[in-house]
Structures are given as C-alpha cells and as structure tokens.
A and B are shown apart, each in its own frame.
Chain A
Amino acid sequence: MSITGDNNAPQLQLRDVWHRYAAGNGTASSNTNANGDSGGWTLRQIDLTLQRGELVGLLGPSGCGKTTLLRLVAGFERPARGSVWLGGRQVAGPQQWLPAERRGVGMVFQDYALFPHLDAWQNACFGLRRGHDLNRVRWLLELLGLEGLERRYPHQLSGGQRQRLALARSLAPQPAVVLLDEPFSNLDVEVRLRLRSELPRVLGSVGASGLIVTHDPEEALAICDRVAVLRDGMLHQIAPPRQLVQQPATAFVGRFVLQANLLSASLDADQLVTPLGIIPAGQWRWAGEGQHGDGLHQAGQPLEPLEVMLGQEDLQLESQPQGEWQLVGREFLGSAWLAVLECRGQRLRLKLPLEHPCELGMGCRVTLRRQAVATLFGSEWHQTAWIRGLPPQSQL
C-alpha cells in the first residue's frame, strides 16, 4: 500500500470518535442500543492510538461497543463524529471516507468467516492480487503450523486450524494493522491458551500491529502490550497490563479487570468510613499516587459516595459466630477456597486456605491488615491511600 504520510505516524489513530447506529438499521450488535443512559451512542469520545508493532487489547463486557469500534476501523461502520487515521492518512472523518476494501486492514472474525467453497490454500490467497508472491502465503501457513493442510476445506479443519487459517488469510496481503474480533472465543481452553500465546509471536514476525477485542481480562492482560478498557461506549483506561493492575483508573476497571473487592465508603472529616470499620484521620494517609486528588481534602468536603478497592492480601478473616459477615457461597479452586461473604448488601470474595473452615452460613469477622494499601474511587478521580493498622471499633 502506498500510504502518504511520515513513517513515524502511528499505525492507527482514532480521534474523538463517536458512533451510533441508525434507528432500525438491523446491523450486528444492535444490543448496544439498549443502554438507555448513553443517549443512543454506542461509542463516545474515543481516543486511541496504535504504534508500530504494538498489540492492543480492547477489553469490556458484552455490549460495551468494542466490536463496533473494530468495525469502525475496518470500515464497516462510519463514525458520527471524529476521525480514523491509518498510517498517517485519514480514512474516515467528516469529509473523508475510504471504503473497507481499500483500507488494507486485516480482519479476523469471531467465527472466522472462512469461504466454505474454497480450500485452505485458496482461502489464504484470496486477498492477493494476481502475480503476487505466493511464497509469503507458504511461509505464513508454515509459521502457523498449517503446512500439509492446504487442500482441505474449512469444514475439514479443526477449530484451532480454522482460527489459524483465518489469521493467515488476513495476514497474507501484508496489512499494517490486523483487527481480531474475539478470535479465541470459540475454542477449547487448551487450544485457546496455546493459540493466544502464539499470537504476539506471529504478529511480531510479520511486523503487523494488532487490535484484539476480548471480554476476558486474563487474555488481554496476558498477551497485550496495552489494554483499553471500554464500558458503555466510553474508554475507562488505556495502559500497559502492569499499570492497569497497579493503578486502575476507575472502580469499573478494578472490578472488571482485576476482579477486586470494592466496598462503598465515604470520607467524613478525614475519617475513612468503610464497611470494615471507621479509620480515623491519623491511621491513614494519601500515598500521593493517582489523579485529580489535589483538591480532595480542602474543607474536608468531598462527600460524594466513594468506593474503596482492597486487595486480597489486605484483608484477613476469622470465623466468629457473632461476626457481621456471613459466608454465603464458596467455590473449590483446587489449591484454595474462594469464599463469598456478605454483610448488609456488600459482598467480598476472598481466597481461603484449604485448611480454613469454610462452612456455608458461618459468621465471620473481616478486618484490614496492618499496612494495607487501598484505592479510593470517586466518580471523577481515584487516589491510593496507605492505611496503618486496623481500627479498634468495627462499625459502619
């Protein structure tokens, strides 16, 4: 492809992209229209950049708009506002539109969309112009472990082979960007784990950037260079996996990505009020990390409802018949119990060692360990706090 623009330009850029489906347009994922609060927008204010060779994950629950975002980049949907840039060239915008077939973007569909009347080789070569070098296809099939299967038809291939063929087909025309729509969701666990660890290697060896849609946080964190978390059409955070885990930007990121425990809390004259007890002013302090926390203590009045996120390691549990928390569910994880505790509408999920008593219905007391680290989320900000020691009296 001859792309005008400089070589340092990002492979893909979305600038302030908004999207909504036309009413009555029976397009895929119309379920996203159901969100009454988003004003009909499936995507709002999306800014996203993909650097050369990068693999970025689009993570979110179903119906959050992640597939729509992918289809916008591919050219199957048009943004209502904002622009899409590929390799420094605008492909979608207010006065600009490049149809999908001329964008040179590879796409791997969720159910692969292999052509059932063509064999594996013909499928892989489908996007090549006449006279194109077929050695690359041969090399790709070899790279993906498909050599010897060239004459087979899609229905004669296993799920994993189909998936790899779909990837080979999308990579054959040498796209700079490959879009992958839940590529592993139709596979067995074992095959899924193997293929997903192959993906970064394959993309790396062909020098393509990838944008992968998934609803599985573990998958996104495992293989992506950066992860974009999407909810109700809004980007909550874009960060490398490590940063995402250590500094989740919103309560949703904490809950969905880290599956962390979040409890409602509030600040009352520098006292931190949580369901685990009231932590007096001297017992905790801001850790100085996070965003928008500066004006927080002014007049001690940020009295909006907060959420406090606590790590597994910061909580300890004793069984106590009169305890406020009740064990309402448990799962056997092999090496530990996962206990679900409830107290006045709040829930905690904790791992307990196997030797710990874990009877349904038993009462417990949950306390904070000494030197706990908590993250506090407001609606517009988040801050990490150090908590020293547990409070003497447990009260809400």
Chain B
Amino acid sequence: MNLRLSGRASTADRPSLGRTGLLLLVLLIGVLALAPLAALLRDGLLSAESGAAGPGAGGLGVAGLGADGDAQIRGTLLLVAGEGLLGTVLGTATGWLTAVCRFPGRRWLRMAQLLPLACPAYLLAASLIDWGSQNGLRIHGFWWAVLLLSLANYTYVFLLSTESFAMGGGQLLEACRSLGVGPWGSFWRVALPLAAPSIGAGVALSAMEVVNELGAVRLLGVPSLSAGILNRWQIDGDPRGAALLALIALAIVVLLLAAERALRRRSRRWNLGSGSAGGLVWPLAGWRAAAAIGVTLLPPLACLLIPALWILQGWQVMAAEPLGELLALAGRSFGLALLVTAITALCALLLAISRRWSVGPLVPQFSSMAGLGYGIPGSVLALGLLLVGGPLQLNPVLLLVWGYGVRFMAVSKQGLDAALERIPASIDESATSLGCSWWQTLGRIHLPLLRGPLLVGLLLVFVDVVKELPITMSLRPFDFDTLAVRVFQYASDERVGYAMAPALLIIGFGLVAAIALIPSLEQRS
C-alpha cells in the first residue's frame, strides 16, 4: 500500500492496489460476521465439556440440559417438521397453480402470495390470540403454532417452487402433452421431481425462520430453543447453558443450510436452460378453477384478515394511544433500519464484486461465509455478540446494529450475487477491451445493471430490521423499545390493544416490501 509515489499510479498498478484494499475489506467483513459464532463455539464447547464432566443435572437431558432443554429441543424439531409439511403443501400448491395453470384472477393471486411477507408470525399470533380471547376462542399450543408459522413462512417455498415450475414449465409440459400426458401426470411425473430440489431448498429456508422464531412460540406457549436460550441467559443467569442450547440450535441450522445449498446446486444442474417460457399450459374451468382460486386465495387472505379483524374490533383502543409514543418507537425502528440498510448494502456490494473479480484465493469462501448469518437464529447470534462485545464494553446499540448486519447481509447479497451471475463474464471482458478499468466497469456497467436488485435488497433489509424481534429483544438497552418489541411485549402483557398502531406500521412497511418484490416474481413467470 505504500507504493503510492505520486498523485497517480500507473494504470497497471491501479487494479492491484484496489485489489489489496478490497481484499482487506472483505477480510474485515468476514471477521465481523464470524466473530460472534466463534465466541459462541468456544463457550458452548467449554460448557459442554464441563457439563459432561460435572455430575449434576441428572441423566435426562442432553449434556446436562435437563428436562427443560429436552422439551425445547423437541419443540423446535417438531415445529420444524410440522411447518415443513404444511409449508411444503401450501408453497407447492400455490406455486404450481399460479405458474402453469390459467384461471380467473391468476395474476393477482400470484402476487398475493407475497403478502404473508408483510405479517411476521409473532404479529399473527398476537392478533389472533387477542381476537380469540375477545370471541371466546383459546388460541394456544403446538398446532396453532404450526398453522401460523406455516402461513407466515410458506412464501419461501412458494417463491422457489414457482420459479422452478415456470422455468421448466413451458416446453417440458408441452412435451408431456404431445406425449398424451395430462395435468396431473405432468405434475407428478415431471414438474414435481424437477422442482423437488427447489422446494426442498425453500422448506429449508422456512425451517430456519422457524428455528429463529421467538415471539409466536412464546405467545402460544410452545417450548422452543430460541426462547430457551433467552430464558436461560436472561432469567436463569446461565450463559453457559444458553451457549450450549445455542450450539444445538446452530447444529440444526447447519444441517438445514447444508441441505439448502446441496439442493440448490442440484436444481441448477437440472436446469438445462431451455430458455423459452411457454406461458400457461393448463387452462382450468368450472369447479377446478374455483378450487384453484380457493387454494391460492386463502393463505394470503388469512394473513391479512387476522390482523385486520383484530384491529377493526379494537379500533377505539388504538385511537386512544398517544401519538408521541408511537413516533418515538417508529423513529427508533426506522433509524436503526436505515443505518443497517446502508451498511449491509455497502458490504454486500463489496463482497459480490470482490468475488466476481476473484481478488484473492479465499474471497469466495469468505464471501459465502459472511452470507451465512441469515440462517443463524437471532437469539443465538445475540448471545454470540454479547460474548464478544461484553468483555469489550461495546455500546449495546452498536451490538444491535452489528447483529442486524450479520443476520441480514445475505438478504442484500443474494439478489446482488444472482444479478451479477446473470451478467456474463464476456460483458466485463468487452468493457475491459474497450479500455475500461475495473472501477470504470463497476461504475458504467455493473452498478447501472445492478440498480434494481440493489434497491430491492435495500428495501427488504429495511423491512426485515423493522420486523426483527429475537435480536432486538436480546440486545436492546433498557428502555429502548422498537415497534416489534412493543407489539410483542404488549401482547404478552395482555395489553394487546396498545400494540395495534405499531403492528399496523409494521404491516404497512411489510406490504411495501412485498410490492417491491412483485417485479422479480413477474420475471420468474
């Protein structure tokens, strides 16, 4: 770096200088992303050792976690299984119907599948529980949790399955028809086997959300790892035990992540790139069309109706809430979200570009590791951050931003990476051959081409931060409430009415994000 002799370096030097700088930045991002995990691993392993060595805790639990820990592990695994099943059915059915079948309202219903993204599970749970209690219905326990988590998360399965159906769709389904195979046959024999890896990847993604989920499972009284970690650490004052639980949660997530990656690779290999989309293949009429409308309308409708009914019934309570309080909450949420959005966008851009130009041997590995944060449950991540930041006396808000950044980096990065992949290497080479340096290529070719995905990524990160609950609950300083925290706390204190205005704001922003995703969904069909 001390080669800078005069104001301008020779053109041959410039890339290498840039490369070194980029490499250092990528390494820094990687270290920041991995430090919490490393701290957690160290503590968790230490505690596992001492737990195994020590006599206490009894023989019931895994490595001395007690019956409590057992119930929490079982609860999370059962939720993952239950949500996985229901989410697969919902996501696959809606994906197939809206990708290749023609029925009235299909286009609108296809877009409607994005609506659940606007309603976090804890919000659905809070509003349904309160609405239920007003109408004499007790919403509590495992099956309600499966239902609400599926409603809130099946969109992940939908997005990936529908892409696969639409891509393979056209011509392969026409080939089926020319060979005398009808709609059901084409679904079971061709479309479903081909989409299976994508569906699996979607299920793995939604399962990670389930492991992450804190608010809904607590409100519904289902034992889970996420809540267990927080309890042990904040209520029982047992950070080691919490770290051990966190390791178990991490192990589940690592398995899910590995499955997701392997399945995606497989789905890519099968994609022989039959470029032409053949449009809608199966026209539906009569009761079939009605059934299709029902299947695709119900889940998004439920996600909107549940909070809507609740708010309609308690309109007066919401109006009585002082506005200043709401503004303070919103200000905090939005301020944090803006900051995190800017940071993740910058980091994602750096990672994506240094990966494309392969500035160093380890960059691809670092880049993909830095993107792993989305799989780590919020409470696990928070615990890791506290283990790193506690001894250093870091400001809690800083830790909070760090946590958001690690968790949501992937949201920015994914879109960028995918968009960059779609720009063929020959484009870069032609720019270079026309005399562009690497940063000119970035400014004149990549950034204009990446503007769309970059903006969508920004918006998604923003909304994700506003919605986020587990990290915020774990790391926020005393008296530092955000919209999401307020919804959850009032709901658990059974003062649900006061949670309405913040909930409405969260849904509103969620809807904006859902709408922003529509163009990319349209591209897939």
Interface residues of A (CB under 8 A from B): 25-28, 74-76, 99-102, 104-107, 109, 111, 113-117, 126-127, 154-155, 169-170, 172-173, 179
Contact = CB atoms under 8 A, between A and B. Distances in A.
Contact of B177 (A27, A99, A154): A99
B270 A126 contact: no
B481 interface: no
B178 A105 contact: yes
B171 A113 contact: yes
B180 A173 contact: yes
Contacts of A25: 279
7 contacts: A26-B277, A74-B178, A75-B177, A99-B177, A100-B177, A101-B182, A179-B178
A105 B176 CA distance: 11
Between A75, A113, A117, A155, the greatest number of chain B beta carbons within 10 A of the residue's beta carbon is seen for A113
A117 B174 contact: no
Contacts of A173: 179-180
The 7 closest A-B pairs by CB, nearest first: A127-B179, A107-B178, A100-B177, A113-B175, A113-B171, A101-B177, A27-B279
A113 B179 contact: no
A27 B278 contact: yes
B175 A109 contact: yes
A169 B193 CA distance: 19
Contacts of B403: none
Given A26-B277, A27-B278, A117-B194, A76 B181 contact: no
Given A26-B279, A155-B272, A115 B174 contact: no
A127 B180 contact: yes
B492 interface: no
Contacts of B431: none
A28 B170 contact: yes
Contact of B172 (A99, A100, A113): A113
A24 to B, nearest CB: 10
Contacts of B174: 74, 76, 100, 107, 109, 113
Given A25-B279, A107-B178, A111-B276, 13 more contacts: A27-B279, A28-B278, A28-B279, A101-B179, A105-B178, A109-B174, A114-B175, A117-B194, A117-B270, A127-B178, A127-B180, A169-B175, A179-B178
Interface string B257-281: 0000000000001111011111100
A188 B278 CA distance: 26
A170 B179 contact: yes
Nearest to B171: A113
A114 B171 CA distance: 9
Given A109-B171, A113-B172, A116-B270, A28 B178 contact: no
A105 B279 CA distance: 20
A154 B172 CA distance: 13
Contacts of A126: 176, 179, 181, 189
Interface string B408-450: 0000000000000000000000000000000000000000000
B353 interface: no
B177 A169 contact: no
A10 B455 CA distance: 59
Q: Which of B180, B271, B272, B275 is packed against the most chain A CB atoms within 10 Å?
A: B180
Nearest to B269: A155
Contacts of B304: none
B504 interface: no
A100 B279 contact: no
User: Which of A105, A126, A179 gathers most chain B CB within 10 Å?
Assistant: A126
B190 interface: yes
Contacts of B189: 126
Contacts of B190: 115, 117
Nearest to B272: A116
Interface in B240-272: 269-272
A74 B279 CA distance: 15
Interface in B134-187: 170-172, 174-182
A66 B178 CA distance: 18
Interface in B177-213: 177-182, 189-190, 193-194
B172 A115 contact: yes
